[in-house]
Amino acid sequence: MFKKIVCTVMAISIVLGVFGLLGQPEASAYGDVYATVSAGDSHSAAIRTDGSLWVWGRTYHAEAGWTIERVKIMENVAAVSAGAGHTMFIKNDSTLWGFGWNSKGQVGDGNVVFGGGGHPGTPVKIMDNVKAVSAHGNSTFAIKTDGSLWSWGENSYGELGDTGRGVTSPRPAKLMDDVVSVSGTMAIKTDGSLWGWGFNRYGRLANDKVGDEIYPPMKIMEDVAAVSTGNGFSVALKKDGTLWGWGVNSQGQLGSSHGMGSLTDVHTTPIKIMDNVASVSAGLWHVMAIKKDGTLWSWGSNFSGELGDGTTKDRHTPVKILDNVAFVSAGSYHTLAVKKDGTLWGWGQNFFHGQLGIGTLDGDRLTPVRITDRIMIPSPPPPPPIKVILNGEQLSFDEPPQMINGRTMVPLRAVFTAMGASVSWNSSTQTVTAKKGDTVVVMTVGNTSPTINGKVKTIDQPSVVINGRILAPLRFVAEAFGGTVTWDNATRTATITS
| For residues 83-96, average pLDDT | 96
Q: What pLDDT is recorded for position 263? A: 81
What is the CATH code of the structural domain delimited by 34-370? 2.130.10.30
DSSP string across 244-292: EEEEE-TTSTTS-STTTT-SS-EEEEEEEEESSEEEEEE-SSEEEEEET
pLDDT band at 65 (very low <50, low <70, confident <90, very high): low
**pLDDT one-digit tens code per residue, 336-367:** 999 998 999 999 999 878 999 888 887 899 99
Of 6-15, 101-110, 195-204, 480-489, which range is least confident?
6-15
Residue 30 has pLDDT above 70, yes or no: no
**pLDDT one-digit tens code per residue, 428-479:** 999 999 999 999 999 999 999 999 999 999 999 999 999 889 999 999 999 9
The span from the CA of 170 to the CA of 110, in Å, is 5
- CA distances in angstroms from 58 to 13, 45, 376, listed in the order given: 20, 11, 24
**pLDDT one-digit tens code per residue, 298-307:** 999 999 999 9
The span from the CA of 309 to the CA of 304, in Å, is 11
| For residues 63-77, average pLDDT | 81
Residue 210 has pLDDT above 80, yes or no: no
The span from the CA of 66 to the CA of 57, in Å, is 5
Query: b/e for 404-426, b at 16 or more Cβ within 10 A?
Result: eeebbbbbbbbbbebbebebeee
Q: What pLDDT is recorded for position 235? A: 97
Residue 375 has pLDDT above 80, yes or no: no
The span from the CA of 334 to the CA of 199, in Å, is 25
Query: b/e for 171-180, b at 16 or more Cβ within 10 A?
Result: ebeebbeebb
Query: Which residue blocks in 288-411 are alpha helix, DSSP H?
Result: none
Q: What pLDDT is recorded for position 13? A: 34
In this structure, which topology does domain 387-497 adopt according to CATH? Answer: Copper Amine Oxidase; Chain A, domain 1 (3.30.457)
The span from the CA of 426 to the CA of 101, in Å, is 66
Structural domain boundaries in the chain = 34-370, 387-497
Tell me how far the alpha carbon of residue 428 is from its chain's centroid.
59
**pLDDT one-digit tens code per residue, 253-311:** 999 888 888 888 889 999 999 999 999 999 999 999 999 999 999 999 999 999 999 99
- CA distances in angstroms from 239 to 153, 283, 293, listed in the order given: 31, 22, 16
pTM value? 0.70
